[in-house]
Chains A and B, each alone.
Chain A
């Protein structure tokens, strides 16, 4: 398996522009997570999907952020309009349940976003 695939790997944009990050989870995984990583706050969970349905979006910073999962093999995270404080590495991770109700998350390579 190719693992979790994210695109683009790097994105540089200007303040006010729309940014769309893409993720393809591992085939067969039914949970998908979007994280944001910064030096100050570490890994923050933005949103969690289970079977394509958003379960917890309490981590989404504000209305400028939105995420969709139209099918089991694709998800997007959109920022509109983008701001310099959105600069971070955004990771997508997927998982499948193991016996006992816990699972391992497999992370994609991340998208490094820079908003000028």
Chain B
């Protein structure tokens, strides 16, 4: 099943913070976060593994709550370059089969 992302869209002013959530109805082995700028391909941000630590990419960090089958992406002191659509991808089961199912995405716009 496709993971559910929230919110679907958010507008921030430069310097503000935001949280994007990703939840699944299935037990998760890992959560992948990607960012896609308009007209470009998705680009990998980070992977969170079951039992692993919180990850960070520049001023963007993420956590993974295995019990709740949820992950959250934290964007701190947002910059104009953060604008884009953020996708979470979930890998369920034992992780031996490399199929990642992506959410519909969260569109983030940072304005001056």
Contacts and interface: CB of A to CB of B under 8 A. Distances in A.
Real binding pair: yes
Interface residues of B, number: 25
Contacts, number: 56
B98 A95 contact: yes
A12 interface: no
A31 B103 CA distance: 21
Given A104-B44, A107-B42, A42 B49 contact: no
Contact of B43 (A31, A101, A102, A107): A107
Given A42-B2, A42-B103, A103 B41 contact: no
A14 interface: no
A55 interface: yes
B43 A43 contact: no
A13 interface: no
Interface of B: 2, 29-30, 32, 40-44, 47, 49, 87, 91, 94-105
Interface of A: 31, 41-43, 45, 48, 50, 55-56, 91, 95, 97, 100-110
